Amino acid sequence: MQNSNSLSPEARRELTELLAKLKGEVTELARTHADQAASIAGFAQTSTHEATRSEKNEQLLKLSLDGLSASVEGFEQSHPDLVQIVNRICTTLANLGI
């Protein structure tokens, strides 16, 4: 996130809070689903990078956000907070890419 000069303070704060919440959820998930937790963390990092880089590549942003969304499929029942946080991150990052 530190690479983006175009990120408003409000967007930076929201994204930082969401990523902190995601970290807690991923840590919890890693206790029982380490591989899936690693995928979620990796896609979150890549998506954040793509959305906040100075020269955006819309195709890479879309692919990374699709990967992030797909990485939490199947956890709606067992980890609803995780899915909700990922959905909010995807929406926030997609809006940055506009």
Angle at 81 between CA 49 and CA 50, to 5 degrees: 10
The predicted model scores a pTM of 0.86
Question: Would you write out the chain's pLDDT as a tens digit for each of its 98 residues?
Answer: 544 456 788 888 999 999 999 999 999 999 999 999 999 999 999 999 988 888 888 899 999 999 999 999 999 999 999 999 999 999 988 887 65
Is 61 buried (19+), middle (13-18) or exposed (0-12) by CB count in 10 A?
buried
% of the chain with per-residue pLDDT over 70 = 92
Give which of 31, 32, 41, 22 is closest to 82, Cα–Cα: 22
